[in-house]
Structure 1
Amino acid sequence: MRKLLLLLAAVAAVSVTTGESASAEGRKSLTQRWAHNFAMDRPWHGGYYNQTYGQPMAVVVPPTAHMRTNYSWGVGQNTMYPIHHQFGRSAPGTGAAAPGTFRPTPAWPSHTDQFGYYYIRAPW
């Protein structure tokens, strides 16, 4: 009886670990699909341009980076967001849009997005 219980416990442990790895793999593909759909519907940049270039600036981060932090001057306005957009190897040339479509950095910026730097994951 003791051997049977030990055998059942071993089988249950193996099935639980196998189920966790399969669901983790399923979540990964679901996350990738969600990021792809998000990136197809929304632009990679915000509404502000970089002062040096006159366009939003893409800051290329490693493909393993998944979260970005935005800091704001104020009480409880610091936020974390996932990085959805990823450049392909055939990314378009210079500029995100026609000049004049973005706002400049305010004289008194209140958020890090207002500086015109936006995180994009690398393709490798």
Structure 2
Amino acid sequence: MVETSNILAWTLRNEIPIPDDVSSQLVEGEEAVAAFSTFRDAAVFTTKRLIVRDAQGFTGKKVEIYSLPYRDIHMWSSENAGGILDRDGEIALWTRAGYIKVKLLKGIDVRRLDQLIAWAVLSTH
């Protein structure tokens, strides 16, 4: 198993239109279904995987791309925001690569993401 404890924690800020350039990363039959801004770039949920792009450096020209096929998700949990003091939600993914934490800032519908992951992981496409 790949050690991921220090590298796979992402924060989704708000839902955005699907970036135009994401189509160059998709395979035949794959479609982008939702996109969210991250602190430096975007996360895109497709019909086959989660793609997280991380622009790096001062200019942002260096881009690291993470691709998590849904078939590699073994279990997940979702936690909605608790109220005044706990305003953020969270999705936790247990995958073949390890544990991944996805923090959801105020305004992101955690149940919608939970349904999207359930559809992607449990459906046969």
TM-score over 0.5 for the alignment?
no
Please indicate the TM-score interval, normalised by the length of the shorter structure: under 0.3
Higher helix share: 1
Structure number, greater radius of gyration: 1
Higher strand share: 2
- The alignment's TM-score, normalised by the length of structure 2, stands at 0.26
